[in-house]
Amino acid sequence: MRLVFAGTPDFAVPSLLAADARNEVVAVYTQPDRPAGRGRALTASPVKRTALERGLAVDQPERLKGREVLESLSALEPDLIIVVAYGLLLPQAVLDIPKYGCWNVHASLLPRWRGAAPIQRAIQAGDTETGVCLMQMEKGLDTGPVLLRQTTPIAPTDTGGSLHDRLAVLGAQVLADGLGLLRVGMQLPLNPQPAQGITYAHKLDKAEARLDWSRPAIELSNTVRAFDPWPVAEAEVAGERLRIHAASALPLAHAQTPGTVLFAGRQGIDIACGEGALRLQRVQRAGGRAIDVADYLNARSDLRAVGA
């Protein structure tokens, strides 16, 4: 089967490998190289690097519009276009090119969390289950019928990073299953998405990373987990701005002003919240690396006495 693969970040790499395993990937589309790192050097996407390592042809148009782009795609004569976290919307003219249309691997149980950041929003909302959907693409944003899906629980210890890695593997498995069925002539079921339960996973904004101590502790704990490893939650703690890499909610009754340090010890630093308290367990000072709270307190003797 002749495939065109469109993807950009690390999340899409396992799916590219799955697509390339038993099919002919005639081209890989990915975002143009972008400045990255301290030197702001132009850097290829993870999908581009993987494609080149495997000797696959790479194209990096800024947009999927215009006669030249459409003619180039049509000339490839793909049976199927696979889209995984590509970063560009596919116009109807592109969706109409392949014999079997376009498939998308999406990191949520649609219709919950359509949009840009489904993994992080699921954790932030306190969901206890998520998964991946293989979807037949339509012009609307993540609105197409679902072909296959797999679920996975969200553990209380899951972070945006750990769930990302697990769903990337699950997504590749679902894609491989779908391709296998298509290869032997099976018709995959087109399951319309329910009209109820639709939510949108808006793109992460770094401004959201600042914790508001007046909010319930469980809400802040979910945000800390969702935003690790990026953009990483931040907060003012006893007069110092810290990045918070790990924390847990405590069902602690108190009458203190939100933001007050209730306790500081090897177990963590407990901060009063609007409801309960947030126990900080791993933090990062400006210009430093992430460290356990016990190490941080070695430099904050003023805090070690609090609540002791």
Among 169, 166, 132, residue whose Cα is nearest residue 18: 169
Please answer whether residues 117 and 202 qualify as being in contact, where contact means their C-beta atoms are separated by less than 8 angstroms.
Answer: yes
pLDDT in tens, 28-77: 999 999 998 878 899 999 999 999 999 999 999 999 988 999 999 999 99
According to the model, what pLDDT value does residue 299 have?
A: 86
According to the model, what pLDDT value does residue 50 have?
A: 98
Q: Rounded to an integer, what distance in angstroms lies between the CA atom of residue 152 and that of residue 167?
A: 8
| Burial class (CB within 10 angstroms; exposed 0-12, middle 13-18, buried 19+) of 267 | exposed
Q: Rounded to an integer, what distance in angstroms lies between the CA atom of residue 90 and that of residue 142?
A: 11
Where does CATH 3.40.50.170 sit in the chain? 2-201
Written as six digits, the tokens of 5 are 């693969």
> Which residues line the annotated binding site?
108-111
Query: Does residue 292 register a pLDDT over 60?
Result: yes
* Count of beta carbons in the 10 Å neighbourhood of residue 18: 25
Which amino acid makes up residue 1?
M
Q: What percent of the chain has pLDDT over 90?
A: 91
Q: Rounded to an integer, what distance in angstroms lies between the CA atom of residue 89 and that of residue 48?
A: 19
Query: Does residue 307 register a pLDDT over 80?
Result: no
Mean pLDDT of the region 230-253? 95
Among 272, 269, 264, 273, residue whose Cα is nearest residue 281: 269
SS3 category, 60: coil
> Which residues line the annotated binding site for (6S)-5,6,7,8-tetrahydrofolate?
108-111
According to the model, what pLDDT value does residue 262 have?
A: 95
pLDDT in tens, 108-167: 999 999 999 999 999 999 999 999 999 999 988 999 999 999 999 999 999 999 999 999
Average pLDDT, whole number, for the chain? 95
Mean pLDDT of the region 184-208? 95
| Fold designation for 2-201 | Rossmann fold (3.40.50)
According to the model, what pLDDT value does residue 218 have?
A: 97
According to the model, what pLDDT value does residue 308 have?
A: 46
Backbone angles phi, psi at 9, to 5 degrees: -85, -175
Q: Rounded to an integer, what distance in angstroms lies between the CA atom of residue 77 and that of residue 163?
A: 35
What are the DSSP E strand ranges found in 238-300? 240-250, 261-265, 268-272, 277-284, 290-292
> Which of the four pLDDT bands, split at 50, 70 and 90, describes residue 306?
low
Written as six digits, the tokens of 119 are 């993994």
> Which of the four pLDDT bands, split at 50, 70 and 90, describes residue 191?
very high
> Which of the four pLDDT bands, split at 50, 70 and 90, describes residue 305?
low
According to the model, what pLDDT value does residue 36 have?
A: 87
Query: Does residue 170 register a pLDDT over 50?
Result: yes
Indicate the CATH number for domain 206-305.
Answer: 3.10.25.10
Integer angstrom CA distances of residue 160 from 48, 51, 138, 157? 23, 25, 28, 10
Integer angstrom CA distances of residue 158 from 10, 166, 295, 307? 18, 10, 23, 29
DSSP codes, 17-48: HHHHHSSEEEEEE-PPPEEETTTTEEE--HHH
Backbone angles phi, psi at 246, to 5 degrees: -150, 135
Where does CATH 3.10.25.10 sit in the chain? 206-305
Q: Which residues of 29-44 are buried (b: 16+ CB within 10 A; e: fewer)?
A: bbbeeeeeeeeeeeeb
CA angle 182-183-184, nearest 5°? Answer: 90
Query: Does residue 278 register a pLDDT over 50?
Result: yes
Please answer whether residues 129 and 154 qualify as being in contact, where contact means their C-beta atoms are separated by less than 8 angstroms.
Answer: yes
